[in-house]
Amino acid sequence: MRSQYSKKRFCILLVCVLVLFGFLTDLSFSKRRAAEYVGTDVCKKCHGMDSIGNQYRVWVASNHANAFLRLKSSKGKEIAQKAGIDLPHADIRCLKCHTTGRGKSEATKNEGVGCEACHGPGGDYFEFSNHASFIDRENAYKKAISLGMYPILGVEGIKARERLCKNCHRDERPCAPADIEEKKRRELSLSIIADLPSKLRHPLRR
């Protein structure tokens, strides 16, 4: 009899703990806010300097920088019409891949596929002290990830980048290449691209 009473008490206690845990988890998620996009011009303040490689200049010369403008081009309109889209530069089906923030961010709606499309919304990490350090780069990187930056370093980072790229670079999109050979070329995994000999170039590795 005592054994059954103890089991019953244990079950009631367990249910109470689970309910409390669920309540606290909900509370923590409700307090957490999604990081906001700040735009490429904010990143440019540091990443436009030649002393650290001028990543901004590399981006400006890329197809990603012109992704939004391509929606307004005659070729973009032609591709969109085939998919039944009248205004590609205003249609979420196109904006979700041709802009930073998937067409939902006012700060980045006209900039194309900018820094934060691949590195994550920078509202919480864009300050230098939140993602960079002259003394301890490893912990600065960990801090940036804790503040919303997407992981990009190491083998796991390459895999994460590949998954991110494939959110848009997939055959189902309206502007996917029709040529079979071109499709095969674009299916190279990022891990293979990262290991290409230095003399061989690929658009994803600059």
Neighbours of 122 (CB within 10 A): 26
Highest mean pLDDT among 2-11, 94-103, 189-198: 94-103
pLDDT digits (tens, 9 = 90+) for 67-114: 999 999 999 999 999 889 999 999 999 999 999 999 999 899 889 999
Q: What is the CATH number of domain 33-194?
A: 1.10.1130.10
Q: Bigger pLDDT: 159 or 12?
A: 159
The residues, any chain, with a CB within 8 Å of residue 85's CB and separated by 6 or more, are 91, 93, 94, 174
Determine the pLDDT at residue 22. 46
Q: Say which residue, 189 or 10, is predicted with more confidence.
A: 189
Higher pLDDT, 140 or 11: 140
Confidence of residue 30 (pLDDT cuts 50, 70, 90): very low
List the chain domain ranges: 33-194
Q: Phi and psi for 177 in degrees, rounded to 5?
A: -65, 140
Q: Which residues share a beta bridge with 202?
A: 205
Per-residue pLDDT tens over the stretch 44-71: 999 999 999 999 999 999 999 999 999 9
**β-strand partners of 205:** 202
Separation CA 62–CA 161 (nearest Å): 17
Q: What is the pTM of this model?
A: 0.72
Model confidence at 195: pLDDT above 90:
no
Q: Please state the rounded mean pLDDT for residues 169-186.
A: 80
Transcribe 79-143 into DSSP letters: HHHHTT-S-GGG-HHHHHHHSTTTT--GGGTTS-S-HHHHH---TTT-SGGGT--SS-HHHHHHH
Give pLDDT, residue 153.
Answer: 81
pLDDT at 165: 86
